[in-house]
Amino acid sequence: MLPSWRDGATRSAIVEFLDRAGEVPPAERVAVFDNDGTLLCEKPNYVQLEFMLAELRRAVSVDPSIAEREEFHALIARDREALGALGIERIAGALVALLAGLTPEDFDNRVRGFFAGARHPERRVPYRQMRYQPMLELIAELRSRSFDVYLSTGGGTEFVRAIGQNFYGVTPEGVVGSQIDYDVARAADGSVHVVRTTELVGPPNEGSAKPQNIQRILGRRPILAAGNSAGDAEMLDYARSPAGPSLALLVDHDDADREYAYESEAATFATAESILDTAARSGWTVASIRDDWSTVFSPS
Amino acid sequence: MLPSWRDGATRSAIVEFLDRAGEVPPAERVAVFDNDGTLLCEKPNYVQLEFMLAELRRAVSVDPSIAEREEFHALIARDREALGALGIERIAGALVALLAGLTPEDFDNRVRGFFAGARHPERRVPYRQMRYQPMLELIAELRSRSFDVYLSTGGGTEFVRAIGQNFYGVTPEGVVGSQIDYDVARAADGSVHVVRTTELVGPPNEGSAKPQNIQRILGRRPILAAGNSAGDAEMLDYARSPAGPSLALLVDHDDADREYAYESEAATFATAESILDTAARSGWTVASIRDDWSTVFSPS
């Protein structure tokens, strides 16, 4: 069980939780995982940003004038100063507009096409091999104990759905993320489709939105939540609150040799407190990549 | 197979669809059912209205002054004229405010408590026995053929979730409905809960919102949809649009002896065209309760 987890306080806390969860009715065995930085490496860039940059290159190849738009110019030049000045919301809005009008099937095909060829920019391996092996083992162990496993991501719902089954065995309805709105389009032959708009439905799925959207979309309260950033704090505390056994697990990126060493921050969240101080104050279990994981990445 | 469906064109269309669906990849075998009037009798009132009236009586028993509020006064008096003048949105808003501040667990307990004692006002049986037996048989047949079965209801998501497993074997994440927004509340001990607000998230789940929300919440496109009113039209056409086998099934309430005879209308939708004309024009399959169903209600 959990072969890539080294013996220690963290592994013991996980095993104790798993044992105690046997007392919980199966319908309440619900686990929710953040994606970027929790199940999948998020450095040097979120993989969704790499996908959007690939979409931008595609769009520019069709219509070079697109590259002149201020946000796209800064992205193509990787001009950090200009990007910072424009702000992530404006950048994201410009990228989202590139995909407006696509059906979910079109969008899914684009994402699958991207992952079929994409390699991590530094390690040069497919993104499947950037999944964290210890977390995959934890998911498998949870399922063997009749847990339902879901994802709650700050990333786009449809982007994560496109890889959810293949990467984690999570079906589309199990993905809670930042949502784009849809329009209903009726073709001349009477057929009805939904197409992407440029509008987000509600705020990004970070912070307080995570427990709200878990209830809205899934309707089930987790007793295990795993995350790695300030944007996961409310979700982790939400999982910790039930009367019975619960586990709030924070992945700490402290291994510059095998992964990356950084203080996790959500894209749209910054807090004065370090995430490790928050974890200590909140009673979360911390998984140190350096100390607790004997293997970091999935071999295949 | 389908013992409560009488031989005829409708049963044949269903059987043909089921046979052809064997060619569809299992991941695309998705069926979505409306609830009120499609799986469960909706006359003389939506059962959710009966629940809300019970909640109103409870609130008045605690604080009689509540009964003086204009919307509640009209409801308690069942004053149809006053109710019509106030409008369903204002009535619904007043009732929703009664339940603001409840956690999902509180709300679920209220609904379960209601169904434990509630009887249909005219037939005097538990609401389980107001489920349509032929539709339950169709759901069972779909599941035996590896379909995933979901609900898309104009009713409240949480209200239908509370009965979804018990009435139809649908888990909470499989229910798409009209959604209330949640606030995140942190108690003095640091525990985190979500609590109901008075605000709806987006429009009621009727009309174009049905395909939009099916994609947003489930992320899977149905090849079978079943409904009974103008509010189901876009969902039925959405299911009919794929290239492969599909079925759009309309329940026609034409049996005054065994159920009710009425022209189905969604609560918030009225169209000039009769629903049967829409069905004929759109190529939907019509299930006549009088002609196609040998048994109407579930015996238990």
pLDDT bracket for residue A241 (50, 70, 90): confident
Test B104 with A182 for CB contact under 8 angstroms.
no
- Residue B219 near chain A (CB below 8 Å): yes
**What is the average pLDDT across A89-95?**
87
Exposed, middle or buried: residue A142 (CB in 10 Å: 0-12, 13-18, 19+)? buried
- Cβ–Cβ under 8 Å, residues B261 and B227: no
pLDDT in tens, A175-231: 999 999 999 999 888 889 999 999 988 889 999 999 999 999 999 999 999 999 999
Q: What is the pLDDT of residue B202?
A: 85
Per-residue confidence (pLDDT) for residue A3, from 0 to 100: 98
The average pLDDT across A35-57 equals 95
Give tens-digit pLDDT for A2-21: 999 999 999 999 999 999 99
A89/B contact by beta carbon, under 8 A: no
Chain A, nearest residue to B108 by Cα: A219
- Asked if A218 lies within 8 A of B191 by C-beta distance, the reply is no
Chain B, nearest residue to A173 by Cα? B218
CA angle at A76 for the pair A73 and A79, rounded to the nearest 5°: 75
Across B1-7, average pLDDT:
98
pLDDT of residue B78: 86
Q: Is A237 on the interface with B (CB under 8 A)?
A: yes
pLDDT in tens, A129-174: 999 999 999 999 999 999 999 999 999 999 999 999 999 999 999 9
pLDDT at A235: 97
CB contact residues (below 8 A), chain A span 28-87, against chain B: none
- A38 pLDDT above the threshold of 70: yes
* For testing contact with chain B, the best of A171, A176, A194 (most B CBs within 10 A): A194
Give CA–CA dist B244/B24, Å, rounded: 8
> pLDDT, tens digit, for every residue of B162-204?
999 999 999 999 999 999 999 999 988 888 999 999 998 888 9
DSSP codes joined into one string, A124-164: -SBGGGGBBHHHHHHHHHHHHTT-EEEEEEEEEHHHHHHHH
Nearest to A215 among B104, B215, B217 (CB): B104
The alpha-carbon gap from B76 to the nearest alpha carbon of chain A, in Å, equals 31
Domains and CATH numbers, chain A: 9-44+127-292 (3.40.50.1000)
- Whole-number pLDDT of residue B190: 83
What pLDDT is stored for residue A147 in this prediction?
A: 98
Q: Inter-chain contact A174–B175, Cβ cutoff 8 Å? A: no
| pLDDT, tens digit (0-9, with 9 covering 90-100), for B198-245 | 998 888 999 999 999 999 999 999 999 999 999 999 999 999 988 899
Contact A182 B216 (CB under 8 A): yes
At a CB cut-off of 8 Å and minimum separation 6, what does B151 contact?
A: B32, B33, B34, B35, B39, B160, B164, B168, B170, B174, B175, B176, B177
Residue B12 pLDDT more than 70? yes
Contacts of B175 (CB under 8 A, 6+ apart): A219, B150, B151, B153, B157, B160, B161, B164
Percent of chain B with pLDDT over 90: 86
CB pairs under 8 A between A and B: 109
> What pLDDT, on a 0 to 100 scale, did the predictor assign at position A272?
73
Q: Which of A245, A246, A250, A249 is nearest to A263 (CA)?
A: A250
Partners of residue A211 in chain B, C-beta under 8 Å:
182, 184, 192, 194
Residues of A whose CB is below 8 A from B201: 201-202, 216
d(CA A47, CA A115): 10
pLDDT digits (tens, 9 = 90+) for B128-152: 999 999 999 999 999 999 999 999 9
A190 to chain B nearest CA, in Å? 8
Beta carbons of B195 and B104 less than 8 angstroms apart: no
Residue B269 has pLDDT above 70, yes or no: no
Distance from CA of A270 to the nearest CA of B (A): 19
Cβ-defined contact of A237 to B183 (cutoff 8 Å): no
Cβ proximity of B178 and B157 under 8 Å: yes
Percent of all residues in chain A with a pLDDT value above 70, rounded to a whole number: 97
Cβ of B161 and A211 within 8 Å? no
A112 touches chain B (CB under 8 A): no
User: Above 70 in pLDDT, residue B267?
Assistant: no
What are the tens digits of pLDDT across the range B70-97? Answer: 999 999 998 989 988 998 888 888 999 9
Q: Is B199 on the interface with A (CB under 8 A)?
A: no
Could A161 and B191 be called an inter-chain contact, meaning their C-beta atoms sit closer than 8 Å? no
Residue with tokens 């927004």: B181
Q: Which carries the bigger pLDDT value, residue A188 or residue A247?
A: A247
Distance from the Cα of B89 to chain A's closest Cα (Å) equals 21
Between CA B27 and CA B220 the distance in angstroms is 9
CA distance A223 to A221: 7
Instruction: Identify whether the C-beta of residue A250 lies closer than 8 Å to the C-beta of residue A215.
Output: no
Q: What is the pLDDT of residue B264?
A: 66
Nearest by CB to residue A241, choosing from B182, B193, B234, is B193
* Percentage, residues of chain A above pLDDT 90: 86
CA-based nearest distance B154→chain A, Å:
15
Using the Cβ of A231 and the Cβ atoms of chain B, whether some distance falls under 8 Å is answered with: no
- Residue A157 to residue B202, Cβ atoms within 8 A: no
Q: What is the mean pLDDT of chain A?
A: 94
Region B3-14: mean pLDDT is 98
* Residues in A touching B205 (Cβ below 8 Å): none
Position A265 confidence tier, pLDDT thresholds 50, 70, 90: low
Neighbouring-strand partners of residue A107: none
- Give A295 to chain B, closest Cα distance, Å: 33
Q: Cβ contact (<8 Å) for B215 and A104?
A: yes
* Residue of chain A with shortest Cα separation from B242: A191
Q: Please answer yes or no on whether A105 and B172 come within 8 Å at the CB atom.
A: no
Q: What is the pLDDT of residue A266?
A: 53
Q: Is B251 on the interface with A (CB under 8 A)?
A: no
pLDDT for B263: 80
Q: Which residues of A touch B104 (CB under 8 A)?
A: 215, 219, 221
- Nearest-CA distance B216 → chain A (Å): 7
Nearest CA in chain A to B195: A212
- In terms of Cα–Cα distance, which of A201, A106, A195 is closest to A156? A201
Instruction: Kindly determine whether residue B215 and residue A186, on different chains, have CB atoms separated by under 8 Å.
Output: no
| DSSP at B262 | -
User: Is a pLDDT exceeding 60 seen at residue A267?
Assistant: no
Token pair of B37, please?
A: 């009037």
Average pLDDT over residues A31-51: 96
Q: What is the mean pLDDT of chain B?
A: 94
